[in-house]
């Protein structure tokens, strides 16, 4: 178990998800903006590259183990878009991103999609682990629910009739793309 783990995100929703997942991985879980300011340019071409960039930059900045992610929504009818550009496809609110997505899908029958996440755990001057996870589902016709963030109000995971934003956070956190990636990292640490 780690003494301290910094969750390298400025997104409070992601922090809460990771805090719940990592409770058995570290004694103290820290929200990165509470201890430092750092903007890391997402210049990678893949989720893994972006997650690694963020984890390494934060680990160098605070000299503590850091967990970072890069994630996105991949929609089949849009040839995998918005993908790694999910957070910045529209430089505005989550509502505007959802509006962009639903407008882009207008007239398309195929609503299948998946959330993808790469997690990188960087321990300064020691090692870096990367785990990739997915959650498959479909895009709803309209937003529903108030839990979560990003595209959660329009993503219905396979096996459910509710969006991520309608599901209880404990359910979402047990099936999400971030959880599936986190399982891979935590398995590596416990070997």
**Which one of 69, 70, 76, 92 is the catalytic residue?**
70
- Does the pLDDT at position 189 exceed 80? no
Q: What interhelical angle do 12-21 and 177-190 show, nearest 10? A: 40
Residue 190, token pair as written in the block: 């416990």
> At 191, is the pLDDT very low, low, confident or very high (cuts 50, 70, 90)?
low
Active site residue 76: no
Whether pTM > 0.85 for this model: the answer is: yes
Q: What is the pLDDT of residues 32-60, one digit of tens each?
A: 999 999 999 999 999 999 999 999 999 99
Element counts in the chain: helices (H) and strands (E):
5, 6
């Amino acid at each position: 178990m780690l003494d301290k783990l910094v969750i390298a995100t400025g997104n409070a929703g992601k922090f809460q998800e990771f805090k719940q997942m990592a409770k058995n991985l570290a004694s103290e879980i820290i929200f990165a903006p509470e201890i430092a300011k750092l903007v890391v340019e997402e210049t990678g071409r893949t989720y893994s590259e972006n997650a690694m960039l963020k984890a390494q930059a934060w680990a160098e900045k605070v000299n503590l183990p850091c967990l970072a992610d890069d994630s996105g929504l991949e929609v089949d009818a849009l040839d995998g878009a918005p993908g790694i550009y999910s957070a910045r496809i529209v430089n505005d609110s989550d509502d505007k991103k959802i509006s962009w997505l639903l407008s882009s899908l207008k007239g398309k029958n195929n609503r299948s999609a998946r959330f993808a996440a790469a997690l990188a755990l960087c321990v300064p001057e020691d090692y870096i682990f990367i785990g990739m996870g997915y959650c498959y589902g479909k895009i709803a016709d309209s937003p529903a629910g108030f839990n979560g963030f990003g595209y959660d109000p329009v993503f219905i995971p396979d096996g459910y009739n509710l969006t991520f934003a309608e599901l209880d956070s404990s359910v979402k956190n047990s099936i999400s793309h971030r959880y599936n990636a986190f399982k891979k990292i935590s398995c590596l640490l416990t070997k």
